Amino acid sequence: MKPRFLRPPRFPVLLIAHRGIPSRYPENTLISLEAGAGEGADVVEFDVQPTRDSALVVIHDETLERTTNGRGRVRDHSLEEILRLDAGGWYAPEFRRLRVPTFDEALDAVGSKAVLNLELKQYGPEEPRFADRVYEAVASRGLTETVLYSSFHFNLLRRIREIDPEAPVAALFHFARGRRPVEEAIALGARFLGCHHRLVTASRMQDSRKAGILVCPYTVNTRRRAETLVDLGVAALITNDLSVMKEYLTERFAAR
Ligand code: G3P
Ligand code: CA
């Protein structure tokens, strides 16, 4: 079953390092992603989006303000402009001058160290060949077996599945109002359902189990919340705080 793990997961619940380890490093920077891979995450999650000149960069928000010293929308800037920005000083002075990684740099840095959960971010109009270019970068490095694609924009996931019908995809949901997450994931052919942790309910877990869909809630940062979600039967914990979750899962599963 894809993704194929580089080493067997330590716990029955997968540990997914969300944007690396943002509890200790500026999110989505190479140092944060490398720490996630180096400190025992089964999967490292990060966000990919296109620049004005259609390069791919690793950054979460639609705009630059929160995580860099730039201003305005990512997609209104060229790669060269984005690479000039400081993506670490906002977090702490010692991280000043860290750059926004290119997608290629992130794949090269952590692609051989952990399964990657690549979230394709689409904030504006659909970028031509976005999913194609993400897939090509993954395939050219021989990483297709160890990558999981996720998105709130299911067209991008459909395109990934057109290119590679075996590619594992996670349908993402932040809200459930007016939506039917499990049914929509089934319709998409997604094996994974990524959702805000508040959307995990006993009845959705039951429906997911019946459909063979693995539920991966984000972001789970406290032991108490993790405990409830593991009791409900989630397949993974997507966390900003890898050490807290590692400690919790070690205790929980060592005690069985
Ligand atoms: O993959 C789950 C999560 O990363 C989706 O939400 O906003 O943190 O990218 P967000
Ligand atoms: Ca994300």
**pLDDT score at 163:** 98
pLDDT, tens digit, 9 for 90 and up, residues 66-76: 999 999 999 99
pLDDT at 1 over 80: no
**Beta-carbon count within 10 A of 7 CB:** 10
Give tens-digit pLDDT for 22-59. 999 999 999 999 999 999 999 999 999 999 999 999 99
Assigned CATH topology for domain 14-252: TIM Barrel (3.20.20)
- What is the pLDDT of the chain when averaged over all its residues? 97
Residue 242, pLDDT score: 98
pLDDT at 15 over 70: yes
Q: Domain segments of the chain: what residues? A: 14-252
**Spatial distance between the Cα atoms of 36 and 43, rounded to a whole number of angstroms:** 8
At residue 215, the pLDDT reads 98
Residues with CB under 5 Å of ion ligand 2 are 47, 119
- Report the pLDDT value the prediction gives residue 255, as an integer from 0 to 100: 53
Ligand 1 atom at minimum distance from 60 CA: 9
Report CA dihedral (18, 23, 24, 25) to the nearest 10 degrees.
Answer: 50
Q: How far is the CA of 218 from the centre of ligand 1 (A)?
A: 7
Q: At what angle do helices 181-188 and 154-163 cross, to 10 degrees?
A: 30
Q: What is the pLDDT of residue 254?
A: 85
Q: How far apart are CA 127 and CA 156, in angstroms?
A: 10
> Is 233's pLDDT higher than 70?
yes
Q: Is the preceding omega at residue 217 within 30 degrees of 0, hence cis?
A: no
How far is ligand 1, taken at its centre, from the CA of residue 256, in Å?
31
pLDDT for the residue 81: 98
199's tokens: 């959307």
Q: Average the pLDDT over 121-136 and give the result.
A: 96
Ligand 1 pocket mutation pick from 21, 45, 115, 173 by most atoms within 8 angstroms of CB:
45
* Residues 6 or more apart in contact with residue 145 via CB below 8 angstroms: 2, 3, 4
Q: Which residues line ligand 1 (CB under 6 A)?
A: 18, 45, 47, 60, 119, 150, 172, 194, 218, 238
Enter the DSSP assignment of 84: T
pLDDT at 219: 98
The per-residue pLDDT for 63 is: 98
How far is ligand 2, taken at its centre, from the CA of residue 201, in Å?
Answer: 21
